[in-house]
Amino acid sequence: MPAQFIFENIIGVLKSYILISIVVMLVLLQLLLTTHFLQLESLLSPANELLFLTIHPSLLAITFFCGFTVCCGVWYFYRPVVMCYFAIKNSMLSWNPVSLFCVTINSSQINKNTSGYDWVSRIARRLARKLSIKAPAIMISSSLEINARVLPGLFHAPMIILTQGLLNKLTADEIEAVLAHELAHVAKYDTYTISILDLLLTCVLWAPVYFGHIVIDYVLLFKWRDKNIGFILCLFVAMISYGLLALLLLNAINRRYELRADQLAMTLVNTQSFINALHRTHSSGQSIPGALEWLIEFMPVFAQGFILRLFLSHPPIPVRIAALR
């Protein structure tokens, strides 16, 4: 492995970790401001101690090292955990759990159904050579959704997961454009940042919100469950307490990464094929919670724009196409 590649990979990992640290600091800062403003004494002391632990010079190095170690562990095990999830979801019977932890994994070891898509692996290897990165492993999910995602590879090659729905609907040139976009994320080291921040957001924000949603809407307010009052209430409390600044920054980062990956991918594939692929996969970028859809209809235009910036992880398709021209 060339020394330059190792150096660039280390720099990319460190940049990602710094960005992750900024998002965590925003969560703590908003929590501290909220507790001060509302005079919540029971939460004020723990919030102050946590912020002190994070920023005090004598403890900063320890905090940085521990956090970085956790991130490296997540990056390494993110891929096998996601593969286990898809293995269970897709009910794959011929599946070797030992191979999940191997340093290099060929597509034929992951899913017996990928044998008919060797051409996808060949395209991915060719694009990876152009970007001077490791050739990715390819996994085919049996989902009929039109979607693709890339998993980070720490000490091993990245992995691109393509759904059966995407392979069924897109042409070969459009699939090449999708692969180029996902590999552009790898070349720019976006996968390190996105994987940690998505996991953090899921555990810290969405898990409590959906738990409260279930308890309130399906237990306490079962008669009015179609209005999702509990979901809206829990989401509002979470946003006001600690989640607003972090979610705004996270999705702004995601949208910037998407546009940057589009620009790089455009240098590798046919322009029209890339635009066609964007149109066919546009639904994957719509991430507004379904429970809010009815409420958004009654909001003024400026409020709708704010909600879009808050929840959309991908720029709208017209914006992405305009940025390419």
Domain boundaries, the chain: 190-324
User: Model pTM?
Assistant: 0.78
* Whole-number pLDDT of residue 145: 84
* Whole-number pLDDT of residue 300: 64
Low-confidence residues in the chain, pLDDT < 50: 92-114, 284-286
- Percent of the chain at pLDDT > 70 equals 75
Angstrom distance (rounded) from CA 19 to CA 16: 5
* Whole-number pLDDT of residue 235: 87
